[in-house]
Structure 1
Amino acid sequence: MSLKHTYTLIAPFYDAMLARATRAARQRSLAALPTDPGRVLLAGVGTGLDLPHLPAQHHYIGLDLTHAMLRRALSRVGPVDFAPVQGDAQRLPFADGAFDHAVLHLILAVVPHPAACFAEIARIVKPGGSVLVFDKFLRRGQPALLRRLANPLVRRVATRLDVVFEDLLPAAPQLALEHDQPALAGGWFRMIRLRRY
């Protein structure tokens, strides 16, 4: 089953699974967006769970692979300048340096090729821009036997459980790590901020 098909099927249930559990972490992550107005890509915007927490001064483009997710996101658009775009976060349909900032909430552990997604983000963010990441990652050398055993099945349905964030960094050498802190589930979920040089 393709990722597009899977997320079309789970779109009606997505919020029930994630909204409450991730709300506070999303708010903390998005608070790091700069105050100066700019263009911000929400890569993998999903059902729009980030939208109520966005500062109003920016222009946002919300990209998602499925129409079903984008349709749900549109119902959450409040007083922000927001445009939906259907597309693949691993092959972004935007020019180099098209955005001042990018937000990757719960997308790097979902896409089949997270390094390709990460490299694309580095390509479309302007030098000096920021990248905000909130997702679940293993640490290098972490055994996490249950997660690794479940990964072959779970990754076919919805998400990967084996992504090591540090392994993604070589794909985007122009992104420098500025901040990394545990967010949820004993540090399995992390909030990360990077700067594009």
Structure 2
Amino acid sequence: MSLQRSYTLIAPFYDAAIDRATRAARQHSLRALPEQPGRVLLAGVGTGLDLPHLPPQHHYVGLDLTHAMLRRALPRAGRADFVPVQGDAQRLPFADHSFDSAVLHLILAVVPQPALCFAEIARVVRPGGQVLVFDKFLRAGQPALLRRLVNPLMRRLATRLDVVFEEVLAAAPDLALEHDQPALAGGWFRLLRLRRL
């Protein structure tokens, strides 16, 4: 099943499964957005769970692969300066250095090629810009046998369970890690902040 098809089917149930469990971590991550107004990419905006927690001074572009997710995001935008865009986070339809910041919440473990997605983020964020990541990652060398065992099925339905952030980061040498904090599930989920060199 394609990622677009599976997330079209998941869209009606996504919030019930994800919202409450991830809300505090999302809010914590978004507090790191700069005070200076800028252009912010929400890569994998999904149903818009981040939208109610965004500071109002920025212009937001929310990208998602599926129309079903974007349709659910729009009512959450409220008064935010928000533009939805349907597209692939692995092939961003934006010019180089066109954003001041990017937010990647629960997207790197979803896309088939997280390193390609991250390289694209590095391309579209301006030098000096910021990238905020909240997702689940294995640690380098971590066996996690059960996660790896069920990964072939899970990655076809909804999400990957085998992404190692350090491997993803290696594909984007223009992004420097500034902050790394465990968030949920005993540190499986992490809050990361990076700077575009």
Paired AA for residue 164 in structure 1: V
Paired AA for residue 49 in structure 1: L
Matched position secondary structure for 2:77: coil
- Equivalence for 1:169: 169
**Shift of residue 83, structure 1, vs aligned partner:** 0.3
- Equivalence for 1:50: 50
Distance (whole Å) between structure 2 residues aligned to residue 191 and residue 79 of structure 1 = 27
- Equivalence for 2:140: 140
- Equivalence for 1:114: 114
- Equivalence for 2:92: 92
Matched position secondary structure for 2:76: coil
Distance (whole Å) between structure 1 residues aligned to residue 58 and residue 89 of structure 2 = 20
Matched residue count: 197
**Shift of residue 79, structure 1, vs aligned partner:** 2.0
Paired AA for residue 194 in structure 1: L
Distance (whole Å) between structure 2 residues aligned to residue 18 and residue 120 of structure 1 = 26
Q: Deviations over 1:27-71 (max 9, x none)?
A: 000000000000000000000000010000000000000000000
Instruction: List gaps (5 residues or longer) in structure 1.
Output: none
Matched position secondary structure for 1:130: strand
Q: Deviation above 2 Å: which 4+ runs of structure 1?
A: none
Matched position secondary structure for 2:131: strand
Distance (whole Å) between structure 2 residues aligned to residue 116 and residue 169 of structure 1 = 10
TM-score (structure 1 length as normaliser): 0.99
Distance (whole Å) between structure 1 residues aligned to residue 172 and residue 130 of structure 2 = 13
Paired AA for residue 196 in structure 2: R
Distance (whole Å) between structure 2 residues aligned to residue 58 and residue 184 of structure 1 = 28
Q: Deviations over 1:59-109 (max 9, x none)?
A: 000000000000000011122100000000000000000000000000000
Map of 1:61-76 to 2, 5 A cutoff?
Answer: 61-76=61-76
Matched position secondary structure for 1:76: helix
**Shift of residue 143, structure 1, vs aligned partner:** 1.1
Q: Percent identity?
A: 82
Q: Deviations over 1:127-176 (max 9, x none)?
A: 00000000000001111111010100100000000000000112110000
Distance (whole Å) between structure 1 residues aligned to residue 19 and residue 33 of structure 2 = 21
Distance (whole Å) between structure 2 residues aligned to residue 177 and residue 42 of structure 1 = 19
- Equivalence for 1:8: 8
- Equivalence for 2:39: 39
Confirm whether residue 131 of structure 1 aligns to residue 127 of structure 2. no
RMSD of aligned Cα (Å): 0.4
Distance (whole Å) between structure 2 residues aligned to residue 14 and residue 75 of structure 1 = 15
TM-score (structure 2 length as normaliser): 0.99
Distance (whole Å) between structure 2 residues aligned to residue 141 and residue 63 of structure 1 = 32
Distance (whole Å) between structure 1 residues aligned to residue 169 and residue 109 of structure 2 = 14
Paired AA for residue 122 in structure 2: A
Distance (whole Å) between structure 1 residues aligned to residue 120 and residue 77 of structure 2 = 26
